[in-house]
Amino acid sequence: MKKRIRHMQRYREILVAFSRNGFGYIVKELGLQKVVSLPERLLKGKKEIHSKTTGERIRLFLEELGPTFVKLGQIASTRNDLIPQNIIKELEKLQDQVGKIPYNEIKEIVERELGAPIEEIFKDFNQDPLAAASIGQVHQAVLQTGEEVAVKVQRPNIEKKIHTDLEILMNFATLAETRLEWAQQYKITEIIEEFKASILAELDYTLEGRNAHKIAMNFKNDKDVKVPHVYWEYTTERVLTMEFVKGIKLDENELLVREGYQPKVIAEKLIQNLFEQILMDGFFHADPHPGNVMILPNHQLLFIDFGMVGRLTPMLKEHLTDMIIALARQNTHAIVKTIYKMGVVPDDVHDDVMRADIEELRDKYYDIPFSQVSLGEAVNDLFSVASKHRIRIPADLSLVGKTLLTLEGTVERLDPDISIVKIAQPFGKRLIKEKYRPKKIAEEVYGQVDDYKDIILDLPEHINALYKLIRKGKFPLEISVARVDMILRKFDRISNRISFSIVLLSFSIIMVGLIIGSAIVGKASYFWNLPVIEIGFVVAVLMFIWLIFSIFRSGRF
């Protein structure tokens, strides 16, 4: 009962926020205005809200509803394949507008999670946070062994609140798919499921710790990269303890120059490192904004905050490489082919229309040297075309586009004249060489042969079994027809109409036969003294009415 009451209260808060920000029509379309008794004036929203753009209203709506929805918007801002660019620009402005957690609550969580008094674990624990976000808060501390650490502590009860919000969102999505054609077309429940998985992953700090450890291992021999060490003995799902390293933020240009750093060198190193992560390792830091990348002595890059990472399988890396090459060559056919390979394509996609859209996109970059093209913008433009035709791009590939845009924004502050494409070209060449390397091709061929080995060895047995079925006349045949439901409904209508015609014809024949028979006999008999015609007429009419009623009730006349 408590859960239902909590949900009902939250339902009302969400529906009121929808209405207040100019989305009352969605509440009406879902039929929810009566469930929580929302007045008509509230559903219309304030007049001033309608002067704002759709993107602005969505951002305000998300900020009003707090941590879950802010985090949802931040994740959604990475999905250029699902959301229009004008809305994404507004979602990128979302900030964690949250208050600080009181120290006594932080202390309680740390002691419960680590199983000891905070004074026994830490020699010093700064009560004032370094940063406060929607899910957690970071404090500087010193271990009993003397190491300086940053302790990230999850907000109290945030997990319960997020689960409640996600349950309600999934209910909304399911209802929307039953009532709204566009929601069913875009498979809103699947999108919410994707976002749900991303948000829940951020609730487990051990995953963030493993992300940091994996990137650290990938660059353990690279002196130009520093990833803070994770203290696993002081890390749980709700508490993350990492090495505290102080660096200079990338947006502090004046301080960088004053300390003797060269912004151009930093920009080049950052581009090379991110492309190494994306194209070579297939595991990358997906949010390289100035607050998450700092500079240490000797131009060493310091990465922090590994809550958002991307993973590319060898196949996805190959698709990404093919797409970038096709973009560079402005080859429409190759671009379309790559989109088909990398995404889930609906059956009713209009191939010619999509080619025309890509041709239009190609014209945007025509006669512009590829070295001067914004790679992030080009990739995201392509994903927007895919979204228009309801092609679902894998989330991690879409995340690449967002990461590239963030990277471009970061390095442009350091060096406005830098070209990401020029610095990335050697990685593309390495991937092409790797793709067509004879040894790799041989390994792929061997792998396919190994996959088909069992099929070939079992082939005689399958042929023998098929032969026996054919001899017994039991050969199973399954025919798959596109839009079979529609065809079956048409068959139903045809058969019902034929039945109707047959009954009508039978009725006519019976009546005519009775009348002719009566005329031919011309004399009265016991049989003819019965009201045969009347009885036959009544029976036929009843059958006729029953058949008509059955057909019309089925809705398939």
Residue 302 CA to residue 247 CA, distance in Å, equals: 7
Angle in degrees, CA 87, 89, 91, rounded to 5 = 70
Whether 122 is covered by a domain: the verdict is yes
> Does the residue 511 lie in any domain?
yes
Is the pLDDT at 243 greater than 90? The verdict is yes
Residues 6+ apart with CB under 8 A from 478: none
For residues 36 and 146, the model is more confident at 146
* Per-residue pLDDT at 477: 59
User: Is residue 147 domain-shared with residue 292, that is, in the same domain?
Assistant: yes
- Domain match, 137 and 286 both: yes
User: Are 177 and 183 spatial neighbours (Cβ–Cβ below 8 Å)?
Assistant: yes
- Give the model's pLDDT for residue 519: 55
Give me the mean pLDDT over the 337-345 stretch: 80
On whether residue 206 sits in a domain, the answer given is: yes
Query: Which one has a higher pLDDT value, 124 or 191?
Result: 124
Residues 304 and 427 in one domain: no
Residue 165 shares a structural domain with residue 45: yes
Rounded CA-CA distance 251/131 in Å is 17
Pairing mode, strands 136-143 and 122-125: antiparallel
Residue 434's domain comprises 311-439
> Where do we find the tokens 């062994």?
145
Do 90 and 115 lie in one domain? The reply is: no
Boundary (domain end) residue, out of 198, 219, 246: 198
Structure tokens at 524: 């009265």
Q: How does residue 473 score in pLDDT terms, banded at 50, 70 and 90?
A: low
Q: Would residue 384 be called left, alpha or beta, if left means φ above 0 and alpha means ψ between -120 and 50 degrees?
A: alpha
* The predicted structure's pLDDT at residue 228: 95
Q: Which residue has the higher pLDDT, 349 or 458?
A: 349
Measured CA to CA in angstroms, residue 198 lies from 62, 76, 131, 442, 537 at distances of: 17, 10, 22, 37, 71
Burial class (CB in 10 A: 0-12, 13-18, 19+), 24: buried
> What pLDDT sits at residue 135?
87
pLDDT at 15 over 80: yes
> How far is Cα 31 from Cα 393, in angstroms, rounded to an integer?
32
Task: Classify residue 410: in a domain, yes or no.
Answer: yes
Q: Which residues are catalytic?
A: 287
Where b means 16+ CB within 10 Å and e means fewer, 341-374 reads ebbebeeeeeeeebeebbeebeeebeeeebeebb
Last residue of a domain, one of 309, 331, 365: 309
Residue 20, both tokens: 């207040």
Q: Which helix (H) or strand (E) holds 284?
A: strand 283-285
Q: What is the DSSP string of 372-405?
A: GS-HHHHHHHHHHHHHHTT-B--HHHHHHHHHHH
Amino acid 554: pLDDT: 53
> Tokens 């941590």, residue?
67
pLDDT tens sequence across 514-551? 556 555 555 444 444 555 556 666 666 676 676 666 65
- Band (pLDDT 50/70/90 cuts) for residue 355 is confident
Helix (H, G, I), strand (E, B) or coil at 151: strand
CA distance 32 to 16: 11
Q: In this structure, is residue 445 part of a structural domain?
A: no
Q: Residues 148, 215: one domain?
A: yes
Tell me what the pLDDT averaged over the chain comes to: 79
Tokens of 466: 């098929």
Tens-digit pLDDT profile for residues 359-376: 887 777 666 666 677 777
Tokens of 119: 């004074």
85 and 181 share one domain: yes
Task: Identify the three-state secondary structure at position 476.
Answer: coil
Cα gap 549→299, rounded to integer Å: 84
CATH of the domain at 276: 1.10.510.10
133-178: pLDDT as tens digits: 888 899 999 999 999 999 999 999 888 888 888 888 888 888 888 8
SS (H, E, C) 232-275: HHHCCCCEEEEECCCCEECCCHHHHHHCCCCHHHHHHHHHHHHH
Share of the chain above pLDDT 90, in %: 23
Q: DSSP state, 67?
A: H
- Range with lowest mean pLDDT among 88-92, 109-113, 251-255, 471-475: 471-475
Same domain for 219 and 115: yes
Q: Give tens-digit pLDDT for 206-225.
A: 999 999 999 999 999 999 99
298 phi-psi bin (left φ>0, alpha ψ -120 to 50, beta other):
left
Same domain, 171 and 44: yes
Whether 330 and 418 share a structural domain: yes
Quick one: 357 and 297 in the same domain?
A: no
pLDDT score of 128 more than 90: yes
Amino acid at the residue 162: I
pLDDT in tens, 173-198: 888 888 888 777 767 888 888 888 88
Q: Which helix (H) or strand (E) holds 294?
A: strand 293-296
Q: Lowest mean pLDDT: which of 408-417, 452-461, 501-510?
A: 501-510
Q: Which of 228, 275, 223 is nearest to 247 (CA)?
A: 228
- Tell whether 463 is covered by a domain: no
The residue from 439, 465, 493 where one domain ends is 439
Predicted confidence (pLDDT) per residue in 266-311, tens digit? 999 999 999 999 988 999 998 888 888 999 999 999 999 898 899 9
**Nearest 5°: phi and psi at 466?**
-65, -40
The answer to the question of residue 460 being in a domain is no
Q: Are residues 515 and 410 in the same domain?
A: no
The pLDDT confidence band at residue 250, using thresholds 50, 70 and 90, is confident
Please report the pLDDT score of residue 526 as a whole number. Answer: 44
* Number of compact structural domains in the chain: 4
Q: Is residue 447 part of a domain?
A: no
